[in-house]
């Protein structure tokens, strides 16, 4: 922190040059003038990755595996949005058993990603540790539980996807091979235990101390009839947004900002930031969760809608519980899709796909030529949609917390960023904290 006086006013700069416990490389700077926060920048300095450009000229069938490489935490999200968009472009409908198997694979990724974030990245903030290793010395049972839950997610993704990260079994139209019911029953045993532990975890997360803070961002999430939307649906909000995936590019504008290699997204209809991800999903769709998850959330005191981003750790624990339960339901009813994929033939077309990545809505749009080669690709990850909401949260939270000692303020601001589990690696086209007190 630097502090100086200009015409009797104290100005400060709070900065974190390399944010820890976030996925990717970024920094944060707050400019404070007297008792006012005058500037907030979430700076993403991880180099741009140009995935959209390198997709041009590649065959439609390559998109799921190429885009999976954007993220080591949510590759299933990339693969699923990619296959939906390609199937839309190619006029392919997939049979219901294929859709259910996609949802099952996606449940595995939610379990893996959320448990990584809850236990490795976010919980140390609430319990007062520098990181998971320090936390593990005093809270071994909590950490072991997190690791076991994550292992169940890994096992599920491996069983359906072929390996625990960057699955190799996903293709446009469905899957290369359907897992056998016996193979899924093995995973079900581990998921049964994980569901019990996830239930305990919701109660544990409900007892954490949440700073009093509320935001009023527009909550945006997919909505699907009769279920908690994951692998498809319409994009809706609590401000009247209700669009099909093919309307996304008209409804969402992406802008370059000088301080970040990630694009900032906003809704064309409203200049205010919007939020996608667990808080939005819970707030909009929480009534569609399975009873076990709804009841656990109610017992833990989770309000709905939920407007305190610090409670996102609790929402993630509820979603882990739901994903375990939903996976078990899908496995119990599982019949291998035969054939495992719908027939797909190349043709010219335009297609769009949106799914609920662990961090929020992930959009893919492609234009194909007559040979099914990609002419144009557009990918809008949740973190670039959430950047403005994260900056707005930081500004509001820091403004109310300026009396805190510098180190505590810095720590709280980092925690406020981690509330949103930003995936910088996904967004670069993100974190370090500088609070500049001018």
Partner 1 sequence: MSALVVGVGDPYRGDDGVGLMVARRIRRHAPAGTVVLEWRGDPETLLSAWDGVERAVVVDAVRTGAAAGTVHRLEPAVAPAALASGPRSSHGLGLAGAIALGEALGRLPRELRIVGVEGRAFALGAPAGEAVRAAVDRAASAVVDELGV
Instruction: Measure the CA–CA gap between 361 and 97, rounded to whole angstroms.
Output: 23
The answer to whether residues 19 and 417 touch, using CB atoms and an 8 Å cutoff, is yes
In the bound complex, what is the minimum distance in angstroms from residue 151's beta carbon to partner 1? 5
Query: Given candidates 28, 89, 143, 159, which one binds partner 1 under the rule CB under 8 A?
Result: 143
The nearer residue to partner 1, 133 or 244, going by C-beta atoms, is: 133
Q: Could you say whether residue 432 binds partner 1 (CB under 8 A)?
A: no
The nearer residue to partner 1, 88 or 109, going by C-beta atoms, is: 109
Tokens of 386: 């959430």
The nearer residue to partner 1, 92 or 433, going by C-beta atoms, is: 433
Q: Where are the alpha helices (DSSP H) in 207-286?
A: 248-251, 278-285
Instruction: Measure the CA–CA gap between 261 and 195, rounded to whole angstroms.
Output: 39
Residues within window 157-196 making contact with partner 1, judged by CB under 8 A: 164-165
The nearer residue to partner 1, 132 or 284, going by C-beta atoms, is: 132
Instruction: Measure the CA–CA gap between 30 and 342, rounded to whole angstroms.
Output: 52
Long-range residue pairs from 402-406, CB within 8 A, at least 24 positions apart, any chain: 402/32, 402/35, 402/37, 406/1, 406/12, 406/14, 406/435
Residues within window 361-420 making contact with partner 1, judged by CB under 8 A: none
Instruction: Measure the CA–CA gap between 300 and 314, rounded to whole angstroms.
Output: 8
The answer to whether residues 379 and 361 touch, using CB atoms and an 8 Å cutoff, is no
Query: Given candidates 73, 357, 389, 427, which one binds partner 1 under the rule CB under 8 A?
Result: 73
Q: Site size for partner 1, by CB under 8 A?
A: 26
Instruction: Measure the CA–CA gap between 130 and 120, rounded to whole angstroms.
Output: 11
Query: Given candidates 12, 15, 16, 25, which one binds partner 1 under the rule CB under 8 A?
Result: 25
The nearer residue to partner 1, 89 or 107, going by C-beta atoms, is: 107
The answer to whether residues 387 and 264 touch, using CB atoms and an 8 Å cutoff, is yes
In the bound complex, what is the minimum distance in angstroms from residue 137's beta carbon to partner 1? 5
The answer to whether residues 228 and 329 touch, using CB atoms and an 8 Å cutoff, is no
The nearer residue to partner 1, 84 or 121, going by C-beta atoms, is: 121
Instruction: Measure the CA–CA gap between 52 and 102, rounded to whole angstroms.
Output: 24
The answer to whether residues 67 and 51 touch, using CB atoms and an 8 Å cutoff, is yes
Closest CA to 160 of 152, 151, 148, 168: 168
Residues within window 75-134 making contact with partner 1, judged by CB under 8 A: 116, 120, 131-134
Closest CA to 104 of 172, 23, 185: 185
The nearer residue to partner 1, 136 or 302, going by C-beta atoms, is: 136
Q: Could you say whether residue 16 binds partner 1 (CB under 8 A)?
A: no
In the bound complex, what is the minimum distance in angstroms from residue 33's beta carbon to partner 1? 33
Q: Could you say whether residue 24 binds partner 1 (CB under 8 A)?
A: yes
Q: Could you say whether residue 147 binds partner 1 (CB under 8 A)?
A: yes
Query: Given candidates 12, 114, 150, 429, which one binds partner 1 under the rule CB under 8 A?
Result: 150
**Stretch near partner 1 under the rule CB under 8 A, chosen from 16-24, 229-237, 282-290, 333-341:** 16-24
Q: Could you say whether residue 144 binds partner 1 (CB under 8 A)?
A: yes
Q: Where is 42: in which H helix or E strand?
A: strand 36-44
Site for partner 1, rule CB under 8 A: 22-25, 72-73, 116, 120, 131-134, 136-137, 140, 143-144, 147-148, 150-151, 154, 164-165, 424-425
């Amino acid at each position: 922190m630097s502090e100086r006086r200009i015409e009797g006013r104290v100005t400060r700069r709070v900065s974190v040059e390399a944010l820890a416990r976030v996925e990717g490389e970024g920094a944060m700077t707050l400019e404070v003038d007297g008792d006012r926060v005058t500037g907030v920048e979430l700076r993403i300095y991880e180099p741009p990755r140009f995935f959209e450009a390198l997709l041009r000229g590649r065959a439609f069938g390559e998109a799921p595996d190429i885009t999976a490489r954007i993220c080591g935490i949510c590759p299933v999200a990339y693969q699923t949005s990619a296959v939906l968009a390609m199937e839309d472009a190619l006029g392919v409908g997939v049979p219901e058993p294929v859709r259910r198997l996609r949802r099952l694979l996606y449940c595995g990724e939610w379990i893996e990603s959320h448990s990584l974030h809850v236990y490795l990245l976010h919980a140390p903030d609430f319990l007062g540790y520098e990181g998971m290793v320090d936390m593990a010395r005093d809270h071994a049972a909590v950490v072991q539980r997190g690791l076991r839950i994550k292992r169940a997610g890994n096992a599920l993704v491996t069983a359906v996807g072929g390996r625990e990260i960057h699955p190799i079994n996903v293709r446009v139209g469905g899957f290369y091979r359907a897992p056998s019911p016996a193979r899924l029953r093995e995973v079900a045993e581990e998921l049964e235990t994980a569901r019990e532990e996830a239930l305990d975890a919701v109660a544990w997360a409900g007892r954490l101390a949440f700073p009093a803070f509320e935001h009023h961002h527009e909550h945006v999430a997919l909505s699907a009839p009769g279920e908690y939307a994951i692998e498809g649906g319409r994009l809706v909000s609590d401000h009247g947004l209700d669009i099909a995936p093919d309307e996304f590019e008209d409804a969402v504008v992406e802008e370059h900002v000088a301080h970040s290699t990630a694009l900032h997204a906003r809704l064309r209809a409203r200049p205010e930031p919007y939020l996608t991800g667990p808080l939005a999903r819970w707030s909009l769709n929480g009534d569609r969760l399975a009873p076990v998850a709804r009841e656990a959330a109610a017992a833990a005191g989770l309000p709905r809608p939920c407007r305190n981003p610090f409670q996102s750790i609790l929402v993630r624990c509820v979603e882990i519980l739901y994903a375990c339960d939903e996976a078990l339901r899908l496995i119990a009813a599982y019949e291998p899709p035969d054939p495992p994929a719908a027939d797909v033939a190349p043709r010219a077309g335009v297609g769009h796909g949106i799914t609920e990545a662990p961090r929020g809505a992930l959009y893919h749009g492609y234009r194909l030529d007559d040979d099914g080669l990609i002419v144009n690709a557009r990918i809008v990850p949740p973190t670039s949609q959430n950047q403005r909401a994260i900056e707005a949260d930081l500004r509001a939270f820091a403004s109310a917390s300026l009396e805190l000692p510098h180190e505590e303020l810095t720590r709280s601001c980092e925690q406020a960023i981690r509330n949103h589990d930003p995936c910088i690696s996904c967004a670069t086209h993100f974190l370090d904290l500088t609070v500049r007190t001018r």
